[in-house]
């Protein structure tokens, strides 16, 4: 069964540093997303991406965040200057045209900012 | 905010059917009901979705009331591996539609 792959599984970074979280969506999917989940809290939408541009973003997705699809397979989330409150699980997801099977989420990257 | 209401938790015996309720009284005509689950801290997993007709796939069945104000997810033969947080989500269909997760219902399957 096709999977969404996220790397690394765990990232520890110092406050103020830049981090890039990487995702390889399912190959024939056209829509890409990032969600996050702070420990013990709800899963929150960050951003959706289609046709090489952001479709929608939440209030969380401020100027410190950016997304990119640098090539035909990767989808990245960059946090420019990390804060303690950015510590969370970050989930990448993708979906196909027609949306018959919902999103497929990756296993997540646990980001710890110290 | 999530447009759905779910009990915080329930349990069922292994091998029995698990019936997970969800209220969505403010659902609008073009919104679908989606169910996802999250096992431990893994990524959410799509289960099933529907508009107004009952739906069934290899994982579960979805029963939507005629007025569409509530639904029930049925796991016909629950196993220990079905222990998870189950999220009922109302959203417009379309690959670009965001999902608004609530707290979900924690299902515990006991041996």
Whether the CB-CB separation of B56 and B105 falls below 8 Å is answered with no
Residue A55 forms contact with B (CB below 8 Å): yes
Residue A99 has pLDDT above 60, yes or no: no
Per-residue model confidence (pLDDT) at position A98: 58
Question: In terms of residues, how long is chain B?
Answer: 111
- Report in angstroms the alpha-carbon separations of A94 from A25, B5, B11: 6, 26, 31
Per-residue model confidence (pLDDT) at position B89: 95
Per-residue model confidence (pLDDT) at position B21: 98
Task: Quote the mean pLDDT of chain A.
Answer: 93
Count of helix runs (H) and strand runs (E) in chain A: 0, 11
Residues of B in contact with A110 (CB under 8 A): 41
Q: Tell me whether the omega of the peptide bond preceding residue B31 falls within 30 degrees of 0, making it cis.
A: no
pLDDT single digits (tens) B6-18: 999 999 999 999 9
Nearest-CA distance B44 → chain A (Å): 6
pLDDT single digits (tens) A19-65: 999 999 999 888 999 999 999 999 999 999 998 999 999 999 999 99
Per-residue model confidence (pLDDT) at position A101: 65
**Using the 8-state DSSP alphabet, how is residue B82 labeled?**
G
Residue B95 has pLDDT above 80, yes or no: no
* Angle at B18 (CA atoms; ends B15, B22), nearest 5 degrees: 170
Per-residue model confidence (pLDDT) at position B37: 98
**Using the 8-state DSSP alphabet, how is residue A96 labeled?**
-
Contact A45 B98 (CB under 8 A): yes
Residue A5 forms contact with B (CB below 8 Å): no
Tokens of B21: 């309720």
pLDDT above 90 covers a percentage of chain A that reads: 82
Q: Which residues of B touch A (CB under 8 A)?
A: 2, 34, 36, 38, 41-47, 49, 87, 93-103
């Amino acid at each position: 069964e096709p999977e969404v792959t996220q790397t690394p599984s765990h990232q520890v970074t110092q406050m103020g540093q830049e981090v890039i979280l990487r995702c390889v969506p399912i190959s024939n999917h056209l829509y890409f997303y990032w969600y996050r989940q702070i420990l013990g809290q709800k899963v929150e939408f960050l951003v959706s991406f289609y046709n090489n541009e952001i479709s929608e973003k939440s209030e969380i997705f401020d100027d410190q965040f950016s997304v990119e699809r640098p090539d035909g397979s990767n989808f990245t989330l960059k946090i420019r200057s990390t804060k303690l409150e950015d510590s969370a699980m970050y989930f990448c997801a993708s979906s196909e045209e027609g949306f018959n099977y919902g999103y497929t989420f990756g296993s997540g990257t646990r980001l710890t900012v110290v | 905010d999530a447009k759905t209401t779910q009990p915080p938790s329930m349990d069922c015996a292994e091998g029995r059917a698990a019936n997970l309720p969800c209220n969505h009284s403010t659902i609008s005509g073009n919104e679908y009901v989606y169910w996802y689950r999250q096992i431990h801290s893994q990524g959410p997993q799509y289960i099933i979705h529907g508009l107004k007709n009952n739906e069934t796939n290899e994982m579960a069945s979805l029963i939507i009331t005629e007025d569409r104000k509530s639904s029930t997810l049925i796991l016909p033969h629950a196993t220990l591996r079905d222990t998870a947080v189950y999220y009922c989500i109302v959203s417009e269909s379309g690959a670009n539609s965001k999902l608004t997760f609530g707290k979900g219902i924690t299902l515990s399957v006991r041996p």
